Structure 1
Amino acid sequence: MCISWVVLAFCCLGQLCAGKGHLSPQIAASRLAANNPTLTTVTLEKPFCMFDGSLHPNKSYAIYLYAMKESVSSLVINNSSKPLDSTFQQTRGGQLGPYKAALFNVPNCASPPRLADVGDVNKVSGVLKQYLFRVGDDGTCLYDPNFLGVCNPPLAPDTTYRFKYLLLDSTEGIVKDQTLWSDPIKTRRVKLPSKIDTWPGRRSGDMIVITSILSVLMFLLLAGFLASVSSVVMRSVDSSAETRRMSQTIQQSEPRPQLSSE
């Protein structure tokens, strides 16, 4: 199954490379990231092979990921071709405009992870992390006074977001290329307790296992109780029968009085 995940990832990357005219961040396939999006996160495919034509071998580059709520200003570059440094707090979580959600190195399209590593369970997670990025995955950066990096706090539930990748020339500090904004992606809605489906057919696997274990324990407890009651009844019956036998034996062993003759 792990091998199929990585093969699917390569297929997705191949589609990205084939459609460079209309590049935009893509939500990760369900087989690569289950339960996506969640209430507060969205997992995206990293921009493999998107900016190869804009890279110079003697320069250093980085990828910026911007996020914003739908229907707000979408500008991420100022008049000097420099990227905006708007933060999550300044934009009220993307409500007033795009904010910088992540900064990472340009994915190496020419040297992807080795397929031989897929067979190692300890390396599968690392391989997938090289292909995917999870927006909203940092729940502490907003409240850490010593945090100096790019903050990637949880997204809002039941909210539509859009995302954009930007290629930055780290040497000159200017933007060299960028993708289109992604299609709208909506986080999940919180379910009200009154609307949660409690039908057994919709319960999780853990609930089914726990219910099965409790049912077996209840059966064993009931069987033990019945066995105990049966044992007490049998002992009572045996005791009564023994008492009757002893009584008959005593009566038979008593000497009968003899009649005197005149």
Structure 2
Amino acid sequence: MGSSWIVVAFCCLGQLCADQRLKPQIAAPQLATNNPTLTTVALEKPFCVFDSSLHPNKSYSIYLYAMKESAGAMSSLVTEGSSKALDSTFQQTHGGQLGPYKAAAFHVPSCAAPPRLVDAGDVSKVSDVLKQYLFRVGDDGTCLYDPNFLNVCNPPLAPGTTYRFKYVLVESTEGIVKDQTLWSDPIKTRRVKLPLQVDTWPGRRSGAMIVITSILSVLLFLLLAGILAAVSSAVMRPEGPSAETRCTPQTAQPSDPRPQVGSE
């Protein structure tokens, strides 16, 4: 039962070959829950999108570009000059503010031999299967600060920010753009909530609940005030006379008459 939703999701994802989608798509909720997050966006890889542009005797790669929507259409080109793929980095574009940056480079997904659905039922293989179908933008939190990092840097995205993404087919040897998708629809990362904005109540508050809560609070206050008053009264009450100070009537005992010795 635990893997049934994965099988269903992959069946839906298998329609990529028929849809021939021309722009990156955000991953289906069945494949990537909590998507987007504060700093990441999971996208479906471009299965069967560039098959008509592939030459059997050449090697190709897929470049994924990202940019903030505020960069504008004038900065959306992903080529240098006429045909060479843009090699701009996250730092050079201020995180996509000035234009697109290369967030990833990977092999062209095989439409003819996708990951086997049988493997989706194996808990030990689910993670690898999902990695073949999906790519998570913003998933590397260390590449910006590692001086020895030489690969394409995919640092975290900015919270509460709208991005667009594009897949580009590039000939690996010369870096020439052979084909590309349209820019994706705007995708916004989640916004950070201030502590005062976080609703810790299990459900939404209604007017009746507010009234009931107020009444119970007043009753609790009155109960506590009554208990405090009773305790204070008991502590401040003066004590009665003790047994030692209590006066008891005593009968005077006559002293024993002593014989007087007369003088001779």
Q: What does residue 29 of structure 1 align with? A: 28
Deviation by residue 1:114-173 (Cα, 9 ceiling, x = unmatched): 222122110011111100000000000000000000000000000000000000011332
Q: What does residue 217 of structure 1 align with? A: none
Q: What does residue 63 of structure 2 align with? A: 64
Higher-Rg member (1/2): 2
Deviation by residue 1:204-260 (Cα, 9 ceiling, x = unmatched): xxxxxxxxxxxxxxxxxxxxxxxxxxxxxxxxxxxxxxxxxxxxxxxxxxxxxxxxx
1:119 is aligned, of 118, 121, 138, to 121
Residue ranges of structure 1 left out of the alignment (5+ in a row):
203-262
Q: 2:10 is matched by which residue type in structure 1?
A: A
Q: What does residue 171 of structure 1 align with? A: 173
Residue 76 (structure 1) shift: 0.3
Runs of 4+ in 1 over 4 A off after TM superposition: none
Q: What does residue 48 of structure 2 align with? A: 49
For the pair 1:11 / 2:21, whether they are aligned, the reply is no
1:120–1:12: structure 2 CA closer, same or farther, 3 Å change rule?
closer
For the pair 1:81 / 2:83, whether they are aligned, the reply is yes
2:110 is aligned, of 108, 111, 117, to 108
Q: What does residue 148 of structure 2 align with? A: 146
The secondary structure found in structure 1 opposite 2:84 is coil
What is the aligned residue count? 200
Deviation by residue 1:64-87 (Cα, 9 ceiling, x = unmatched): 000000032100012230011110
Q: What does residue 251 of structure 1 align with? A: none
Richer in helix (by share): 1
Q: 1:50 is matched by which residue type in structure 2?
A: V
Verify the 8 A CA contact 1:9 1:131 in the aligned structure 2: no
The secondary structure found in structure 2 opposite 1:71 is helix
What is the TM-score of this pair, normalised by structure 1? Answer: 0.73
Q: What does residue 188 of structure 2 align with? A: 186
Query: Root-mean-square deviation (CA), in Å?
Result: 1.4
Q: What does residue 220 of structure 1 align with? A: none
Q: Distance in 2 between matches of 1:62 and 1:3?
A: 33
1:56–1:121: structure 2 CA closer, same or farther, 3 Å change rule?
same
The secondary structure found in structure 1 opposite 2:70 is coil
The secondary structure found in structure 2 opposite 1:165 is strand
Q: Distance in 2 between matches of 1:83 and 1:162?
A: 18
Q: 1:70 is matched by which residue type in structure 2?
A: E
Q: Distance in 1 between matches of 2:171 and 2:25?
A: 23
Q: 2:9 is matched by which residue type in structure 1?
A: L
Q: Distance in 2 between matches of 1:153 and 1:62?
A: 20
Identity of aligned residues (%): 78
What is the TM-score of this pair, normalised by structure 2? Answer: 0.73
Residue ranges of structure 2 left out of the alignment (5+ in a row):
205-264
Q: What does residue 39 of structure 1 align with? A: 38
Residue 201 (structure 1) shift: 4.0
Q: Distance in 2 between matches of 1:100 and 1:4?
A: 33
Verify the 8 A CA contact 1:28 1:45 in the aligned structure 2: yes
Verify the 8 A CA contact 2:59 2:172 in the aligned structure 1: yes
